Amino acid sequence: MQTRDFGPRSFRSIFKWGAPDVFYDVDDRLRTFICDTLGLPEKHLTELFHPGLEDVPELPAPDLPEHALARLEDLVGADNVATDDYTRTEHCSGSTYLDLLRLRLGKVENAPDVVVYPRTEADVAGVVALCHENNVALVPAGARSSVTRGLESPRGGVCLDLTRHLNRVLELNETDLTARVQPGMLGPAYEAWLNARGYTCGHFPQSFEYSTVGGWVAARGAGQQSTYYGKIEDMVLALRCVTPRGTLATAPFPRCALGPDFDQLVVGSEGTLGVITECTLKVWPHRPQSMLPLTFMFRSFEQGVDTIRTLLQSGIGRPGVCRLSDPEETEIAFLLDGLAGGAIDKTLQRLGYTPGSRSLMIAATEGDRALATVTAARAHALAIKRGGLPLGGKPLHAWAKRRFHDPYLRDDLMDYGVMTDTLETAMTWSDLPRVWRGVRAVIKARPHTACMTHISHAYETGANLYFIVIGPMDRENPIRDYRDFHRQIIDAVVEHGGSLSHHHGVGRLFASWYPEHVGETAFAAFRGLKAALDPHQIMNPGAYGLDEQ
């Protein structure tokens, strides 16, 4: 690890995950991976690829209706309205691989004209009404970690940053085990607040450190322990969403029969219908001591899949963390962890756990300790019957230590001109093998490209697949090149029966696939909703392709 100077107004200070002055020192293991596996020349390890040290440029002056700026300042206070180039550039995109590429290349596209920091729901309602009346585009923003081009302002207008003020827990109800939370609260602050009172939020996406409660809900996200705690849509009991048509507010009934589930209209709407201003979420007793390891090596991916499927379907209790790496991911992990060729590797090989087919499962129980003990015993028996070799607590602890590290690594790899992205999909157990094979086939057809795949969220009826793609970047045309490659991958996902997304969302990245993927009638329903709640089509224009003809 080394640090370098960078400007406080630099692109790097905007796109870098974590401290912007950190550059990763390539160790021998990563060198082997980059040079041998990806086939990149050694010199790439010393020549940084557009590290983004330049300051952001001057942008065209804000283009808003007359008096709009003054009225915004009246509404929220002058301190909470920003039109400077840096703030506008900061809010021009999320953290999609393409977003990061653009920023590294010094391209500022789709910046808002103004960034507004509302202090209250009334502020939000005022800004929404102002934008609605004046036909000004409005894009709500949390911590801007979208990886689906969910955050862009193609029509300029207002970006509403909810993180400055709307970032508190409003109420903890210990009778109902619920918390009322504002949308701009970051994951670590929320979890720390709950932990201090003996509870946990149960939602830990890889973006945990730089994502917000509102973003989780807007994108229909999932945390790494979702197999026990559920996806965010399973945690939302009620919400408030300020739409141009008025405020949609639901009550925290545990279940009801009141027509369509209005919470489930807003969850995943990605700012296209309104601005989420409050969420009532489930919370749980915080019991980290109940995390008993369920870690196994299997001789094949199929054996691992069969184990997780049976575990989920047998009713013997759900693990929280529930991951299964495919053979390529298992081998790259062995390489990067310095295990390849060592004593453990040799023992495993002697026992028939062969590189190229063996697959690593890392899971852990949750909840009540006594029940977790039974679940763990039953799960061990089940895994061993399917050829699994128990590996104890070490792999779980190693995983836990670096559970939020991948987004940092992405920037590090991009610093060395390495293309790296993640894609994720969900499917039934029946369809999983062909999605896995079909998508891998497309990715592996690209020379020198690594494809690490795992299951990280499992259900009775199916699971997700998460693909990490790492390969050489086309340094001349990195954006066009990646777009073409990405299109092929997503075509394969859909062709083989996977969903366009399991938890990243749709944004603008998948908008061209979306109408066909959900079908014309469902898309018409979504547009009908939009027409009812956002008749002037001001909310997050371009997302889902809802406002295109």
Which residues in 492-531 contact a second copy (CB under 8 A)?
497, 499-506, 514, 517-522, 524-531
Residue range at the interface with a second copy (CB under 8 A); choices 27-35, 88-96, 183-191, 254-262: 254-262
- Beta carbons within 8 Å of 161's beta carbon, 6+ residues apart: 91, 115, 116, 117, 141, 184
Contacting range for a second copy; rule: CB under 8 A; set: 105-113, 158-166, 260-268, 340-348:
260-268
- 3 near a second copy, judged by CB under 8 A: no
Interaction of residue 256 with a second copy, rule CB under 8 A: yes
Q: How far is the CB of 167 from a second copy (least distance, A)?
A: 24
Coil, strand, or helix at residue 84?
coil
| CA 327 remoteness from chain centre | 24
Which among 75-83, 88-96, 250-258, 477-485 is the span making contact with a second copy, rule CB under 8 A?
250-258
State the nearest-atom distance from the C-beta of 271 to a second copy, in Å.
11
460 contacts a second copy (rule: CB under 8 A): yes
* Residue 257 binding a second copy, by CB under 8 A: yes
Burial per residue of 129-153, b for 16 or more beta-carbon CB atoms within 10 angstroms, e otherwise? ebbbebebbbbbbbbbbbbbbbbbb
Residue 324 binds to a second copy (criterion: CB under 8 A):
no
Taking CB under 8 A as the criterion, the residue among 19, 78, 105, 251 binding a second copy is 251
Instruction: Please give the C-alpha separations between residue 396 and each of 92, 179, 288, 399, 524, in angstroms, as whole numbers.
Output: 38, 29, 13, 5, 45
Q: Which of residues 206-235 bind a second copy (CB under 8 A)?
A: 219-222, 231, 233
DSSP string, 459-505: -SSEEEEEEEEEEE--SSSHHHHHHHHHHHHHHHHHHTT--S-SSS-
Question: Does 88 interact with a second copy (rule: CB under 8 A)?
Answer: no
Task: Please pick, from the candidates 102, 457, 496, 508, the single residue that binds a second copy as defined by CB under 8 A.
Answer: 457
Q: Is 255 in the site for a second copy (CB under 8 A)?
A: yes
- Decide if residue 368 touches a second copy (CB under 8 A): yes
Residue 83 CB, shortest distance to a second copy, in Å, is 31
Tokens of 440: 């891998």
CA-based R_g, the chain, Å? 23
Size of the site for a second copy (CB under 8 A): 96
Residue 41 Cβ, how far from a second copy at the closest point, in Å? 38
Q: Please name the residue that has the structure tokens 């026992």.
A: 351
Asked whether position 367 contacts a second copy by CB under 8 A, the answer is yes
CB burial of 63-86 (b: ≥16 within 10 Å; e: otherwise) equals: ebeeebbebbeebbeeebbbbebb
| Interface segment toward a second copy; rule CB under 8 A; list 68-76, 125-133, 341-349, 460-468 | 460-468
- Rule CB under 8 A: choose which of 3, 461, 488, 512 binds a second copy: 461
**Whole-number Å distance between alpha carbons of 10 and 450:** 31
Reported residue count of the chain is 549
Compare residues 216 and 334 and give the one whose CB is closer to a second copy: 216
Residues 371-400 within binding reach of a second copy (CB under 8 A): 371, 374-375, 378
Percentage helix, strand, coil for the chain under 3-state DSSP, each rounded to 5 = 40, 20, 45
CB of 233 to a second copy, least distance (A): 7
